[in-house]
Chains A and B, each alone.
Chain A
Amino acid sequence: MKLNSILLTTAAIAWASPAFAAGDLFIYTYGEYTPPDLVAKFEKAFDVKVHVDTFDSMETMLAKLRAGAGGYDIVVAGDPNIQLMISENMLEKIDVNAMPNYVNVDERWRDVYWDSGRQYSAPWAWGSTSFMVDSAVVKGDINTLGVLFNPPAEVKGRINMMRDVNEVINIALRYLNLPRCNENPEDMKKVLELLETQKQWVKSYNSEFKEPLVSGEAVASMAWNGYAMRARDEKPSLVYVYPKEGFTGWMDNLAVPKGAPDIENAKTFINFMMNPENAAMVSTYARYSNGIKGSEKFVDPKLATAPELAPPAGTPAPEFIPNCSPASTKLYDRVWTKLLN
């Protein structure tokens, strides 16, 4: 919730004073993302008190760090955000690739576009953004974005879209088969028309999608795979869809913001998190894959077979989308404002 972030910002400013006792680690991350047993294990092993502060979106996190909120040793950031923070000199170069546990990082997540060679960041969790339908209500072919943009009668008026300009526009661009990070006003006009047509069938724009799906307010909703699994736990008829048009992939990473009070503790934590056993705790708790080799055998066995984490054969590869240019960001913003006008 937005208000939540305002309260948290206020709280963080209140405690972002320079005096910290030795043996503290301040983590800034999404809510319900840090396993309590992991925190306890780290505290016990290194005699460090861990403090977790949460944000509700990357925008909140960036805005707050930019506004000068210091005092964090570890920040969790998505792939385009790491790219941005490196380019803006907001992160400490901590040479993750030289850490002992780096050998455990899956080769797939080493030379990534946002931090090639992993000098600044380590994998935390990765997943996909697609959508979920209630199979008890929605009939017919569900493996297409048409469920959201050309909905059958039973879906009309019961769609939830995320309240996130990039996620919504990306999924619309994919349905229209137009290039991502689009700078073409003509293309973006088509996106706006599509979204405005869809709006009459949209119940709400809400990134907290689990509640509306479980309560039955929405029968089709954009979703993140791990959180989708939690929703399915509460309502077994919910199905996470890998549409034939493709879907977005993302990775959240651990990094150290400039001016971190205790860089050594931060490095210790990052190395600790590249240990398969510890990375597995994140997956078990947050229900996302982690990018650390050998973690599979420590992860809750029900995740191994979960369709949200193991897409069926023939599923298109997730598409990772970097930061878009200022021109397309402006166009996106204009589309978003007109849509919600």
Chain B
Amino acid sequence: MTAQAELRSPFRVSKRLAFTGLLLPAVGVITIFMIAPVAIVFVYSFLEPARYGGVVWNFSVEGYLQILFERDFVDGSLQFSADYLVILWRSVFQAAICTVLCLMISVPTAYFIATRSERTKPIWIFLITVPYWVNLLIRTIALLFILRDDGPLNKAIMMTGLTTSPLPLSYNNFAIGLGLVYSFLPFMVLPLYSAFERFDFRLLEAAYDLYASRRVAFFKIVLPVMRPGLIAGSLLVFIPSIGSYLAPDILGGGKTLMIGNLIGTQFQGAHNWPFGAALSMILLTVTLIVLIWMARRSARKNTGY
């Protein structure tokens, strides 16, 4: 009896140890790099700002109130103000536009690459990734140099005689949008490519044989197969672009803020860390809502087939 227990127990312990041992790195990484920072941001968002940066340890919801209201300087009463909502909306809008544009460019691109021969496929994929060997900051500044008034693009357009004065290509929302699409395009192309790659084109032939129209074939056959790639790509583009900092900063000429820039100024010029933390929590919430919505949508669709 005891001998048996002694025989069995080491096995049990080691199994439990193995379980904890295997779990530990993942839990550690998540705790150190995700839970702890988010917890700090969460706590700071409910504190009062110190005079020139930093926080005073008093509970306050002013950081959140400030997003929707501003205090009147004379009597301190709260008045509704849409200033920050406009910035948040602009970020969501720009990110959504960027996602749609990336989709429109990526679907044909990914389809093209997936239908190449096995020999040339890796070359196309390689070409997609080449620009991303260069740092994003440098690529963004390079894009500015191409777009600006005396840049090669405007010079070329003016040489054709279509216009005598340079087109406003830089320092505006167009430039920001272009910068976002340029930055995040491969995050859409690659998941779509892997979805197309798995696609069995005989299914499409079968559909046509059974008198499916192009429309029906696309929605009933192609789209369901593509869905995981579409969702993954959209999330990979939407989430980083909503918090994007560089494109509005450099290509927008600092003239319009997006939420990333607004958060940045709270920790630099404006000296209001709790407000910056509150904005970060809002951004996190928006991102989570989009994620959950997407996840639930895809789960529902998947059960349909």
Contact = CB atoms under 8 A, between A and B. Distances in A.
Interface stretch (A114-122, A143-151, A199-207, A221-229): A199-207
A169 to B, nearest CB: 11
A306 interface: no
Interface in B244-288: 245-246, 249-250, 253-257, 262, 264-265, 267-272
Interface in A285-321: none
Contact of B52 (A1, A3, A84): A84
Contacts of A66: 53-54
B86 A341 contact: yes
Contact of B137 (A1, A88, A165, A215): A1
Interface string B61-87: 000000000100110000000011011
B137 A340 contact: no
Given A3-B246, A66-B53, A217-B150, A340 B254 contact: yes
Interface stretch (A54-62, A91-99, A231-239, A253-261): A54-62
A216 interface: yes
A340 B257 contact: yes
A337 interface: yes
A334 B70 contact: yes
Contacts of A59: 53, 268-269, 271
Nearest to B74: A185
B70 A88 contact: no
Contact of B257 (A203, A326, A327, A337): A337
Contact of A333 (B86, B249, B254, B270): B270
B149 interface: yes
A47 interface: no
Contacts of A323: 52
Contact of B249 (A2, A57, A84, A165): A2
Nearest to B73: A185
A202 B170 CA distance: 12
Contacts of A203: 171, 253
B144 to A, nearest CB: 10
A49 interface: no
Contacts of A334: 70
Interface in A45-96: 57, 59-60, 62-63, 66, 84, 88
A336 to B, nearest CB: 7
B87 to A, nearest CB: 6
A22 B190 CA distance: 52
A203 B251 CA distance: 11
A341 B83 contact: yes
A337 B73 contact: no
B268 A341 contact: no
Most buried by A among B54, B70, B249, B268: B268
B296 to A, nearest CB: 34
Interface in B127-181: 137, 148-150, 171
Interface in A165-223: 165-166, 185, 199, 202-206, 215-217
A340 B253 CA distance: 10
Contacts of B74: 185
Given A165-B269, A333-B270, A204 B253 contact: yes
A215 B150 contact: yes
B51 interface: yes
Nearest to B149: A217
Contact of A206 (B254, B256, B265, B268): B254
A2 B264 contact: yes
B253 A206 contact: yes
A254 to B, nearest CB: 20
B255 A340 contact: yes
Contacts of B137: 1, 3-4
Contacts of A326: 51
Nearest to A84: B52
B257 A204 contact: no
Interface of A: 1-4, 57, 59-60, 62-63, 66, 84, 88, 163-166, 185, 199, 202-206, 215-217, 323, 326-327, 329, 331, 333-334, 336-338, 340-341
Given A88-B52, A203-B171, 9 more contacts: A1-B249, A3-B245, A59-B53, A59-B268, A63-B53, A204-B171, A336-B270, A337-B262, A340-B255
5 contacts: A1-B249, A62-B53, A63-B268, A205-B255, A340-B255
